Structure 1
Amino acid sequence: MLLHKGVDEWTSTGVKSTFTVLIPDDSSPTITGSTGICGWGWSFSCSVGPASTATSPILLGANLTPIPWRRVAVFFHPDLIRDANYGRITLRTETKNLRPLDDGPPSGFLTQIDLPQRHGSSKNPLGVYMRLSDATGPATIAIVVQFAAGLGMSLPRSLDPRVEAALAQTIRGEEVTDIKFYAYTRVRAGYVTRPRPMFAKLALLRGHSDSLDTYLMGVSGEAGFAESKMIDLDVDMPPGDRFLGYDYMSDSDLDSDDEGDGSSPAVETAEASTTFAAQRPLPDSVSSSRSTSPILTFRALAPRRMGRMVVVKGHAFKTWNALLYYLYTNRIIFRTSDFHQESTSQIPVCSAKSMYKLADKFGLGELKALALESLRSQLSAENIVREAFSSFTSLYPEILDIEVEVLIRHLPNLTEEVDNMLKSICDGARPQCFNVLQKIVCHPELLHPSRAASEVGFA
């Protein structure tokens, strides 16, 4: 068999199957192989063969002789779930010792398939990879099949090693939470206001990315952050308002001061002001017992939970809260134009833009891909001009490329909107828009309009 399967890892929304790929010697012709049933009733197949010299990168060995490549393609087969009404499922591939062909994404390919699927298996691979013939170590492919959280499926779940370690710590009497984050919820007159607390277990946040682990080393005191000193998590002063003069002020997960965020102001005040309750004078019964019951007095004054307190800078409460929930459960919901705030789901809802920024900062590839797909799905003729020329888009080339393609497709029907946007750019109101203008002007469909018109149906 070409694909040797390891143990499936189950989550609340899908399953991850990991395979070792057996690469035949260079003289072998193309061969194919399939797996048995995986997960909930699907399978995969693999094709391995000589790489085309026309598409393969040319690499030279130590003696300047060409190093041959092998071409590896992976396919998904719905099999037993082909007729199931599961809607859109997402498949993501992660690889080791394999390189994507034709400059594919290094972190893995993202594919979406709609079920039920009446026709035969797709001929389009989940990913096409190249492997050096002299590479050392096994080549592995991990494929995550994820179902929409809204399906409410009850899937068997593998116990994450982080969860197992955290549970073991509770058996030894260690705290369930050992870190407290404060993040801001509102913006008013150039200030972010009304911080709210969130609690977490550091052990459950580690291991998702090197960048996030480095950050956590800082907040846990391992890197010497001054603000991460040990405190009583139930007795601390919430941070004050902050003025932040950068793009954080346009964060779509911050509410303006006259808007609600789905929680009662009284609850917010209570959550952020545990200090005042903890510092109230002891009842007379406790005070009078000090001379006769020192143990009772000690227990009344002793801190309940010790840990670190960190003020989150540059990210709103909703975004950080959703990140913590995702790191715990691998589940996330992005706010869309048709989302109803009164949703009863316990999963925190956040802006895809805000989460994309956070995922990019911490190198969380899967989360970043999910946010990107949500952003892509929300693009339309009504909002594409505004989105393509936004300051957010100018920061991320991947998003810029996607939005330019959508903009070009709708361009014939957006004359007035584009004219108004170009006028504001010429007036100096949008200095960040050079890159998007450059891509539009140099786009093949505009450089060769007759050919492009026939391709997209405008002719």
Structure 2
Amino acid sequence: MSSNQAQISTLLRKSLLGELLDTQFYLFSARSKHGNIRVAAEIRSLFANDEGLTAGSKFFSGLLSAKTLKDPALIEVPLEHHPASEEILSLNDYGYASDSDLDEGEEEDETNETVQDNEKLELQANVSAGTTPLIKNYATKGVYRTTPNRKILVTDTAFNTWQALLYYLYTDEIVFAPLRSQGSQTAAQLGLGKPPPCSPKSMYRLACKIEQDVLRDKALAAIQSSLTEHNILQELSSSLTSRFPLILEMEVESLFQHITSATVMNDFPTFIKRIGGADLPHGVDILIKLHERMLRQHYPRVFSPEPPSSKSSESEYDERRMRGGGSGRSGRGNRRSSRGRRDWSD
């Protein structure tokens, strides 16, 4: 029996004894508009077994063993309270406005209420003080069979991404949804018997944060396999590309491979104008990387000059001999001949 199969067997046995649930996580699941501000909204719940998480993750080992949370994106929730499903958080505070794992929610009507600059502090204060109303029965239909030992509000990761992460730590299985730039809608849930899909870009961001290297590489490979001439310029324009140099380098390589395609040739002038107009904060980095890639292709000696060969050394030696600057016996012989001629002239 593999380690993952043994872990799943353990979790099943614990579920029979009512010992499965240790920690409850609350996460935003949608993106909507509140007045004139884009926000993360619609909090949903996930339940986890601590042993199942800590067995394969140093991040969760430290998180779940710590008495206080050091990560500012994580907020401790009193056991007797729940964050309200109506709670919102500005996408600036969320940290990833274009997160593909946030569903598109309904736009709220303009009201007199506004999202304050210190909204995240207010959210944390409300949760910690237990002043938020009880959560609506949104994702956890039915009555709780057990009470978790700890509740944590995660404010920088989407529900779909976190759910896929927990499933991966339990089973070592991961399924990535198509990129939105591929023209496909986010993959639908595949049923309880299948891994929950998530965006490879969202998972790459999370895997880098929690130092889950194998999962990070899987997400990076999924992003790379999704790049085509039809979406490479759009992906280069994403905020995620500006934050992670490895993704930038990979996407510039893809751009170079498709640089002569009809789609790229048609859209590239507009892309360059966006860089010139400062629409892309990382546009200069893209051009620098593209220039370096072109030099490596057409002028490889610029990056790896060839060392002097033995043949060139011999040519330099012969040239010195012809100029009278040689060494060894021939040099000494020349000097003796010179002295002899001077003696004869005297």
**Structure-2 separation of matches of 1:271 and 1:195:** 8
Q: Pick from 435, 439, 443: which aligns with 2:285?
A: 435
Q: Pick from 147, 155, 166: which aligns with 1:305?
A: 147
Judge which range, 428-437 or 189-198, deviates more.
Answer: 428-437
The 1:223/1:320 distance shift into structure 2, 3 A limit, reads closer
Look up the equivalent residue of 1:374 and give its one-letter code: A
Question: Alpha-carbon deviations, 1:114-151, whole Å to 9, x = none?
Answer: xxxxxxxxxxxxxxxxxxxxxxxxxxxxxxxxxxxxxx
Post-superposition offset of 1:360: 0.7
Q: Pick from 233, 236, 241: which aligns with 2:88?
A: 241
Post-superposition offset of 1:213: 2.3
Q: Quick check: which has more Rg, 1 or 2?
A: 2
The 1:163/1:445 distance shift into structure 2, 3 A limit, reads farther
1:392-403 alignment runs, 5 A limit: 392-403=240-251
Post-superposition offset of 1:10: 5.9
**Structure-2 separation of matches of 1:389 and 1:236:** 38
**Aligned partner of residue 248 in structure 1, secondary structure:** coil
The 1:449/1:306 distance shift into structure 2, 3 A limit, reads closer
**Aligned partner of residue 350 in structure 1, secondary structure:** coil
The 1:439/1:353 distance shift into structure 2, 3 A limit, reads same
Post-superposition offset of 1:334: 0.5
TM-score of the two chains, using structure 2 as the length reference: 0.64
1:21-100 alignment runs, 5 A limit: none
Residue 355, structure 1, aligned to residue 197, structure 2: no
Greater share of helix: 2
**Aligned partner of residue 228 in structure 1, secondary structure:** strand
Look up the equivalent residue of 2:280 and give its one-letter code: R
8 Å CA contact 2:77–2:152 kept in 1: the answer is: no
The 1:435/1:209 distance shift into structure 2, 3 A limit, reads farther
Judge which range, 397-406 or 355-364, deviates more.
Answer: 397-406
Identity of aligned residues (%): 29
TM-score of the two chains, using structure 1 as the length reference: 0.50
The 1:210/1:380 distance shift into structure 2, 3 A limit, reads same
The 1:311/1:415 distance shift into structure 2, 3 A limit, reads same
Q: Pick from 346, 349, 352: which aligns with 2:194?
A: 346
Residue 423, structure 1, aligned to residue 273, structure 2: yes
**Aligned partner of residue 157 in structure 2, secondary structure:** coil
- Greater relative contact order, per chain length (Cα 8 Å cut-off, separation 6+): 2
The 1:424/1:175 distance shift into structure 2, 3 A limit, reads same
Residue 186, structure 1, aligned to residue 53, structure 2: no
8 Å CA contact 2:32–2:39 kept in 1: the answer is: yes
Greater share of strand: 1
Question: Alpha-carbon deviations, 1:291-339, whole Å to 9, x = none?
Answer: xxxxxxxxxxxx9524211111111111111111111111111001567
Q: Which residue of 2 aligns with 1:377?
A: 225
Residue 335, structure 1, aligned to residue 177, structure 2: yes
Residue 208, structure 1, aligned to residue 50, structure 2: no
Look up the equivalent residue of 1:307 and give its one-letter code: N
Provide structure 2 residue ranges, at least 5 long, that are not aligned to the other structure.
108-134, 302-346
Residue 386, structure 1, aligned to residue 234, structure 2: yes
The 1:237/1:422 distance shift into structure 2, 3 A limit, reads closer
Q: Which residue of 2 aligns with 1:318?
A: 160
The 1:427/1:175 distance shift into structure 2, 3 A limit, reads same
Corresponding pairs, count = 258
Question: Alpha-carbon deviations, 1:78-132, whole Å to 9, x = none?
Answer: xxxxxxxxxxxxxxxxxxxxxxxxxxxxxxxxxxxxxxxxxxxxxxxxxxxxxxx
Look up the equivalent residue of 1:271 and give its one-letter code: Y
The 1:231/1:340 distance shift into structure 2, 3 A limit, reads closer
